[in-house]
Amino acid sequence: MGAIWPVLLFGLLLGMKHATEPDHVIAVSTIASRTKKLSLSSLAGMFWGIGHTLTLLVVGMVIIAFEQRIPERIASYLEMAVGIMIIVLGVFSFRSMLKVGHHHSHDIRHVHMKSTLIGIVHGLAGSAGMVLLTAATVKGVWMALAFMLIFGVGTVIGMMLFTTFLGIPFVWMKARQQAMNQWMVKAVSLISIGYGVYYIAHIAAEM
- Determine phi and psi for 35, rounding to 5 degrees: -85, 150
Q: Which amino acid is at 50?
A: I
Output Rg (C-alpha) for the chain, integer angstroms. 18
What pLDDT shows up at residue 40? 85
The DSSP code for 126 is: H
Q: Cα 141–143–149 angle (5° rounding)?
A: 105
Q: Residue 118: CB partners within 8 Å, gap ≥ 6?
A: 27, 28, 31, 48, 51, 85, 89
* Dist. CA 87–CA 120, nearest whole Å: 16
* Dist. CA 165–CA 172, nearest whole Å: 11
* Dist. CA 72–CA 205, nearest whole Å: 14
- pLDDT one digit per residue (tens) for the chain, 207 residues: 456 788 888 889 999 999 888 889 898 888 888 777 888 888 889 999 999 999 988 988 888 888 777 888 888 899 999 999 999 999 988 887 776 544 455 556 677 888 899 999 999 888 888 888 888 888 888 888 899 999 999 999 999 999 998 888 877 766 566 677 778 888 889 999 999 999 999 989 887
pTM equals 0.84
| C-alpha closest to that of 154 among 4, 3, 10, 41 | 10
140 SS3 class: coil
- Determine phi and psi for 82, rounding to 5 degrees: -65, -45
